């Protein structure tokens, strides 16, 4: 069994679970605050995500980018938030009929890997702040996502909201870059090294 150790500061956020965030702006602000804290604490990249119940807006699980912290390339915020929600609810299918339906709120649009995780998760809505090009502007390679990725999600019954508090999320990306945060991308033949400052 894979065991991912979360940073101790993230335990303090666990107390927010069961809390409701009725306003979409409040949900996104909460997630961007997590990304900001992850940068301040030095525990990972400038990305965060959270799973909320779709109707009640109750917080179910949070995730922050822990790639460098854990040494695991799959430790993206979206994957962690979805995995922790699935673990908490006891099912891999967040779209199961017995469940109320869920939204994934992300400080940045998903990379190629996380896009697949969103499709497989069963969430019914994806809300994003920063765009791929914002992450790319500071050096992150988000992978060759199809240009019509939002349509692909919508065709699978997943609503997509973009640019919600984009400027605030971009400020976290800029802070990460100013602090010399590690830019970790996969190393491919003929490309630049996988990790650089």
Tell me whether residue 133 is one of the annotated catalytic residues.
Answer: no
From 41, 53, 78, 103, the catalytic residue: 78
Contacts of residue 173, defined as CB under 8 A and 6 or more positions apart, other chains included, come to 46, 108, 130, 134, 135, 137, 138
* Pair 108, 131: CB distance under 8 Å: yes
CA distance 174 to 180: 10
Provide the annotated active-site residues. Answer: 78
């Amino acid at each position: 069994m894979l065991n991912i150790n979360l940073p101790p500061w993230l335990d303090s956020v666990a107390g927010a679970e069961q809390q409701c965030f009725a306003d979409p702006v409040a949900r996104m602000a909460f997630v961007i605050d997590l990304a900001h804290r992850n940068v301040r604490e030095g525990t990972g990249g400038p990305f965060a995500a959270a799973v909320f119940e779709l109707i009640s807006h109750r917080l179910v699980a949070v995730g922050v980018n822990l790639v460098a912290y854990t040494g695991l390339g799959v430790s993206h915020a979206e994957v962690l938030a979805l995995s922790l929600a699935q673990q908490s609810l006891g099912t891999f299918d967040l779209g199961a009929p017995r469940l109320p339906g869920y939204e994934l709120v992300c400080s940045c649009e998903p990379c190629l890997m996380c896009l697949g995780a969103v499709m497989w998760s069963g969430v019914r809505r994806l809300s994003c702040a920063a765009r791929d090009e914002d992450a790319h502007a500071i050096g992150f390679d988000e992978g060759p996502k199809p240009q019509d990725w939002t349509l692909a999600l919508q065709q699978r019954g997943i609503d997509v909201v973009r640019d919600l508090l984009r400027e605030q999320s971009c400020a976290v990306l800029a802070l990460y870059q100013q602090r010399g945060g590690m830019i970790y991308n996969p190393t491919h033949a003929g490309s630049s090294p996988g990790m650089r400052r």
